[in-house]
Amino acid sequence: MRGKIIAVFAVIVLMVGGLSYTLARASLGSISASGEAPRALAAAMAQLQVDGLVLERWLASHASGPRLREPFNAGTAPARAEAATSAANAIREAVAASPELAKTPPSLVVLVDRKGVVLGRNASALMRGDDLGAVYPSLKRAIEQGVTGSDVWVSRARNEQLLASYAPVRDDAGQIVGAVAVGTALNDERLSNASERTSGRILVVAVQSGDGLDVVAKSRDASPQLVSALTASPAKDGALHALGSGRMVDIGGLPAEYRAVGQALDGYGDGRRAVLLSIAELKAPGTAGALLWPVLGVTALGLVLVVVAAYFLDAYVSRPISEIEDGLLAIMNGRTDLRFGIEHAELGGLVFRLNSLLNQLLGVQEDETDADGRPSRAPASASFRDALEVDERMAALSADEIPADAKALLEEPEDAYYARIFREYIAAKRSLGNPVDHITRDAFVARLKASEQELGQKHGKPMRYKIEVRGKEIVLLAVPLA
């Protein structure tokens, strides 16, 4: 039995220990990641918006310079193109030298006319004549409205992956003649830099490509497996929902140790051009590993306590059972005078009944006196042991429902009532062929009074009985007197 107790409780301790470790590790992960991803997303979003706004303000302050007006005043198209390229090179050098823009060096500087057609770009004759206003409508709208703006320029066909800011260029009369646009690289280095300057969490920028999601930039901690998970459902669906709704959306479908949120990159174009994702990784593996040893220690202590408790429990239960088994074997082998003297809180009642059973089987008169030699129960009632079956169906009746013969029972004197009931009971027993020599009137009346008193307390009203014979049984029908 001891081995069974140890095995059962050892399994329980191991299950509780393992479950506690699992839940603690999950809780640590939840605490670590629950608020990190949204905070990191908000910080990175603000950083990228500030970068675009600073560049817009810088361009607005320099767009009115005479150097930028020259390309628009040139007489021929080649002259305008060469002048635009020269002006774009100057703008690029000025942006690179500006302290507030040093962290976001320009990759592209381009001058466009009022329709958004490229006059020239820095360091190259490429793009001359390209209709950027048709490719990026927000640029054309900004020129028409005469305001600064920023947009996400991502085009696989044009090999462009930029965050662009632009400002209108005006002539001496204040009329808008075109715009200057500066594009900064939207690449892994840019996002890694934004992550380091804000939260240090993983950042990803993606755009919609048909029904899919195209990841265009990611910070350095984003693994290929994580990127693959982002471009597959349900992570892809969550990112597209964030892009379409403009709200922050939880991104599912990532490995268990990651939690991600996404939101459309606000402040660029119409605010639906790209989605920015922030991914928080569970940073508690060291804590969870350190937690493992205390859990193992507590589990080991639990197992030791199980062994000790099983030993004492086995001794407490198995020892008296073993004594009873040995005693019964001795009685079977002829020691009919053997009785059990075991004192036990749980098994004491069983021992008493075993001794009583042995006395009845072996015809030995039981000692019914207490430790002081006093009788433990009245001899009159103790001599009558027949079972009395009581029918309580009428006991719950109200005063109006009490049958008429109840009044006769109520008015019958007590001595006459008990004498009559005793006679009817003896007559019923004899009619059934049952022995009645062992039934004395005093014992029967004592039992009947005790039964009436118990039933009256149960139903809250006085009771008396009627004798009824039902088949081979004698039943006491309880009749309420009130």
CA angle (409 as vertex; 403, 410 as ends), nearest 5: 95
Q: How many CA atoms lie within 13 A of 411 on its CB side?
A: 5
Q: How do beta strands 160-170 and 176-185 pair?
A: antiparallel
pTM of the full structure: 0.54
Model confidence at 381, in pLDDT bands (50, 70, 90)? very low
Looking at residue 378, its pLDDT comes to 41
pLDDT in tens, 116-141: 999 999 988 898 999 999 999 999 99
Higher-scoring residue by pLDDT: 172, 241: 241
Q: What is the pLDDT of residue 349?
A: 82
Q: What percent of the chain has pLDDT over 70?
A: 88
Q: What is the pLDDT of residue 376?
A: 44
Mean pLDDT over each residue of the chain, to the nearest integer: 83
Is 90 exceeded by the pLDDT of residue 479? no
Closest residue by Cα to residue 203 from 178, 182, 221, 225: 221
Position 455 scores a pLDDT of 87
Residue 380 predicted with pLDDT over 60 = no
User: Which DSSP letter does residue 76 get?
Assistant: S
pLDDT confidence band for 386 (50 / 70 / 90): low
For the beta sheet containing 389-391, the strands, ordered from the edge strand earlier in sequence to the opposite edge, are 389-391, 473-480, 463-470
How many CA atoms does the CB half-sphere of 324 hold within 13 Å?
Answer: 18
Q: Which residue has the higher pLDDT, 270 or 362?
A: 270
Instruction: Give residue 25's pLDDT.
Output: 63
User: pLDDT, tens digit, for every residue of 180-223?
Assistant: 999 999 999 988 988 888 888 899 999 998 889 999 999 988 88
Q: What six digits make up the tokens of 281? A: 């990784």
Position 60 pLDDT exceeds 50: yes
The pLDDT of residue 215:
92
